[in-house]
């Protein structure tokens, strides 16, 4: 199944920090993601071509978790 023009945003909290994770696809079955924590862009690792929405979501959440792990907990 091909996916064209896909865009989903997940908002939530992790250890007291607000995150926004966005998954997009403008090319058939090639996905990318961006993440912000408290309005600051999260540094993303180069992952190569992502061909699954689920993989993009998991990689994005892992990036959020890595970023938050380096911050002081808010709880």
pTM summary value: 0.85
Q: How far apart are CA 32 and CA 21, in angstroms?
A: 11
The strand ranges marked E within 3-68 are 6-14, 17-27, 30-37, 40-41
pLDDT at 2: 61
The mean pLDDT value for 42-71 works out to 94
Instruction: Determine the pLDDT at residue 1.
Output: 56
The secondary structure of residue 71, as a DSSP letter, is S
pLDDT, tens digit (0-9, with 9 covering 90-100), for 3-55: 568 899 999 999 999 999 999 998 888 999 999 999 999 999 888 899 999 99
């Amino acid at each position: 199944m091909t996916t064209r023009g896909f865009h989903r945003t997940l908002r939530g909290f992790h250890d007291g920090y607000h995150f926004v994770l966005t998954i997009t696809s403008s090319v058939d079955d090639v996905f990318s993601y961006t993440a912000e924590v408290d309005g600051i862009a999260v540094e993303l690792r180069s992952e190569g071509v992502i061909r699954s929405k689920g993989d993009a979501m998991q990689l994005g959440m892992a990036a959020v978790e890595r970023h938050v792990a380096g911050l002081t907990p808010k709880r």
